[in-house]
Structure 1
Amino acid sequence: MADAAGRLTKLAEEVLGAPLPVRIRAWDRSESGPPGAPTLVIRHRRALRRMLFKPGELGLARAWVAGDLDIEGDLYAALDLLAGLIWERPGGGGSPRAAVLRALARPEIRAAARELLVLAGAPVPPAPPVEEVRRRRGPLHTLRRDKAAISHHYDVGNDFYALVLGPSMVYSCAYWGTGDGAGAFTLEDAQHDKLDLICRKLGLREGRRLLDVGCGWGSMVLHAAREYGVRAVGITLSEEQATFARKRIAEAGLADRIEIRVQDYREIHDEPFDAISSIGMAEHVGRTRYAEYADALYALLKPGGLLLNHQIARRPIVDEEAYRVDEFIDRYVFPDGELAPLGRTVGQLEDAGFEVRDVEAIREHYALTLRRWVANLEEHWDRAARLTSPGRARVWRLYMAACALSFERNRLGVNQVLAVRTPDTGDAGQPLRARTWRPVAPGA
Structure 2
Amino acid sequence: MADAALRLQNLFEQLLGTPLAVRIRAWDGSEAGPPGAPTLVVRNRRALRRLLFKPGELGLARAWVAGDLDIDGDLYAALASLAGLVWERGEDAPGLLASLRDPGARAAARGLLRLAGPPLPPAPPPEEIRRVRGNLHTRRTDRRAISHHYDVGNDFYELVLGPSMVYSCAYWSAPEAEGGTLEDAQRDKLELVCRKLDLSPGQRLLDVGCGWGSLAIHAAREHDVRVVGVTLSQEQAAYARKRVAEEGLTDRVEIRVQDYRDVADGPYDAISSLGMAEHVGAEPYLRYAGDLFRLLRPGGRLLNHQIARRPQGDESAYTVDAFIDAYVFPDGELAPVGTTVTQLERAGFEVRDVESIREHYALTLRRWVANLESEWAAATRMVSPGRARVWRLYMAASALAFERNRIGVNQVLAVKTPESGRSGLPLRSRTWN
TM-score range (shorter-chain normalised) is over 0.9
Instruction: Give 1:207's aligned residue.
Output: 202
C-alpha distance in 1 between matches for 2:235 and 2:178: 33
In 1, Cα distance between equivalents of 2:15 and 2:375: 38
Give the letter for the 2:370 counterpart. Answer: A
**Which of residues 234, 249, 254 in structure 2 aligns to 1:254?**
249
**Residue of structure 2 equivalent to 1:166:** 162
Give the match for residue 312 of structure 1: 307
Which residue of the other structure, out of 276, 285, 288, is the alignment partner of 1:281? 276
- 1:274 match: secondary structure: strand
CA distance in 1, matches of 2:359, 2:430: 19
AA in 2 matched with 1:266: R
Looking at structure 1, the residues matched to 224 and 110 of structure 2 have their Cα atoms a distance apart, in angstroms, of 69
1:301 and 2:282 aligned: no
Q: Structure 1 residues 183-192 or 384-393, which shifts more?
A: 183-192
Q: Which residue identity does 2:97 align to in structure 1? A: R
**Residues 324, 308 of structure 1: alpha-carbon distance in 2 compared, 3 angstrom cutoff:** closer
In the aligned structure 1, how far is the partner of 2:244 from the partner of 2:402? 33
- Match of 2:187, as an amino acid? H
Q: How far apart are the structure 1 equivalents of 2:303 and 2:412?
A: 6
Alignment coverage as a number of residue pairs:
433
Counterpart CA distance in 2 for 1:182 and 1:352 is 43
CA RMSD of aligned residues (A): 1.4
Q: For each residue in 1:175-225, what CA deviation from the matched residue of structure 2 results, as whole angstroms up to 9, or x when unmatched? A: 0005x5763411000000000010011011111000000000000000000
Task: Report the equivalent of 2:67.
Answer: 67
Question: What letter corresponds to residue 34 of structure 2 in structure 1?
Answer: P
Q: How far 1:89 moved relative to its partner?
A: 3.3
1:47 lines up with 2:43 in the alignment: no
What secondary structure, in the 3-state scheme, does the structure 2 residue paired with 1:6 have?
A: helix
Moved more, 245-254 or 428-437: 428-437
Comparing 360-369 and 118-127, the one that deviates more: 118-127
* AA of the residue aligned to 2:218: H
Q: Which runs of 5+ in 2 are unaligned?
A: none
Query: Separation in 2 of the partners of 1:374 and 1:288?
Result: 33
Q: Does 1:139 align with 2:135?
A: yes
Specify which of 145, 148, 152 is matched with residue 148 of structure 2. 152
Aligned to 1:230: 225
* SS class of match (1:8): helix
1:417 alignment counterpart: 412
Structure 1 letter corresponding to 2:256: R
After superposition, the Cα gap between the structure-2 partners of 1:359 and 1:26, relative to the gap in structure 1 and judged at 3 Å, is same
**Distance in structure 2 (CA, Å) of the matches to 1:84 and 1:368:** 24
**Equivalent residue runs for 1:75-224 within 5 Å:** 75-83=75-83, 87=87, 89-91=89-91, 95-102=95-102, 105-106=103-104, 109-178=105-174, 183-224=178-219
Compute the TM-score of the two structures, normalised by the length of structure 2: 0.97
SS at match of 1:432: coil
Mapped partners of 1:289, 1:406: distance in 2: 26
Within 1, Cα distance between the matches of 2:107 and 2:247? 67
Please say if residues 86 and 92 of structure 1, whose CA atoms lie closer than 8 Å, have aligned partners that are also in contact.
no
Secondary structure class of the residue paired with 1:320: coil
Tell me by how many angstroms 1:367 deviates: 0.4
Classify the secondary structure of the residue corresponding to 2:413. strand
Determine the structure 2 residue equivalent to 1:356.
351
Quote how far apart the aligned CAs of 1:16 are.
0.8
Segments of 5+ residues of structure 1 without an aligned counterpart are: 439-444
Equivalent positions of 1:338-353 (< 5 A) are 338-353=333-348
Q: 1:85 Cα shift?
A: 7.0
Deviates more, 1:385-394 or 1:50-59: 50-59
Identity %: 73
SS of 1:133 mapped into structure 2: coil
TM-score (norm 1): 0.95
- Looking at structure 2, the residues matched to 182 and 335 of structure 1 have their Cα atoms a distance apart, in angstroms, of 34
Mapped partners of 2:142, 2:253: distance in 1: 25
CA distance in structure 2 between the partners assigned to 1:182 and 1:254 by the alignment: 35
Q: Output the CA distance in 2 between the equivalents of 1:162 and 1:427.
A: 43
Answer yes or no: is the 8 Å Cα contact 1:92–1:99 preserved in 2.
no
In structure 2, the partner of 1:270 is: 265
Match of residue 390 from structure 1: 385
- Distance in 1 separating the partners of 2:334 and 2:403: 17
